[in-house]
């Protein structure tokens, strides 16, 4: 009886795994133009476990690397100084709604945290909290170094896995998107727009080219 129960549970898990892996496909393509890297994501897709991947932001040779990144709730920001000079890593949450309701909106937005990194080799970790995620009312995160205004970077946080940063050639790939019709959104150079909809096919890649406005 005991062995039968074990085999039954194993069969049940096999069925669940099969069900969980069905009904999804890859959304891939390219964001056209030469205006720099972009972030592409699927809006409103159901389910999906976020990747276990931290967002690493480093001061390297007087600039932030990477310039654009995506992060996922539940992971960490990893802030590093790889230069031989004092830096700080200051993360601001853009507050889009302030432009409409305030006569004196904050230039960058609300500070999430401001970490001093005075020495080369320093590393500080901070959690990525649920309220950091991208929303219309708040928006993306801008990263600045106050002593060095030319250093900037951008982060978009999501509570689902269906987001990716393009390569320098504009190419992107978002795996395991639930099959069906989904809204595709794009961030580039501080501007978010809805590109359109894409029909993701079960078990097959769906190719799109995101053209400029």
Ordered mean pLDDT values, 10 residues apiece, the chain (213 residues): 45 38 86 92 90 97 96 97 93 68 58 93 96 85 92 96 96 96 94 92 93 65
| Cα dihedral: 13, 46, 175, 11 (round 10) | 10
Burial class from Cβ neighbours inside 10 Å (0-12, 13-18, 19+) for residue 151 reads buried
Distance of CA 213 to the CA centre of its chain: 22
In order of start, what are the domains of the chain with their CATH numbers?
24-48+162-213 (2.60.40.1120), 49-159 (2.60.40.420)
pLDDT at 145: 95
Structure letter (DSSP) for residue 104: S
pTM reported for the whole predicted model: 0.83
* Rounded-to-integer distance, Cα 75 and Cα 53, Å: 6
pLDDT at 106: 55
pLDDT at 52: 96
* Rounded-to-integer distance, Cα 106 and Cα 176, Å: 38
């Amino acid at each position: 009886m005991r062995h039968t129960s074990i085999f039954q549970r194993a069969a049940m898990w096999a069925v669940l795994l099969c069900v969980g892996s069905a009904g999804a496909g890859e959304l891939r393509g390219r964001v056209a133009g030469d205006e720099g890297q972009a972030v592409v994501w699927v809006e409103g897709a159901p389910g999906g476990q976020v990747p276990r991947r931290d967002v690493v932001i480093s001061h390297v040779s007087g600039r932030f690397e990477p310039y654009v990144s995506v992060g996922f709730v539940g992971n960490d920001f990893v802030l590093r100084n790889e230069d031989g000079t004092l830096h700080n890593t200051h993360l601001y949450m853009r507050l889009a709604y302030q432009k409409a309701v305030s006569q004196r909106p904050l230039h960058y937005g609300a500070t999430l945290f401001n970490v001093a990194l005075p020495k080369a080799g320093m590393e500080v970790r901070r959690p990525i909290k649920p309220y950091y995620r991208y929303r219309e009312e708040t928006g993306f995160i801008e990263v600045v170094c106050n002593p060095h205004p030319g250093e900037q970077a951008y982060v978009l946080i999501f509570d689902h896995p269906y987001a990716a940063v393009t390569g320098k050639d504009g190419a992107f790939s978002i795996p395991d998107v639930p099959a069906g019709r989904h809204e595709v959104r794009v961030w580039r150079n501080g501007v978010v727009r809805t590109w359109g909809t894409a029909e993701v096919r079960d078990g097959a890649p769906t190719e799109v080219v995101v053209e400029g406005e």
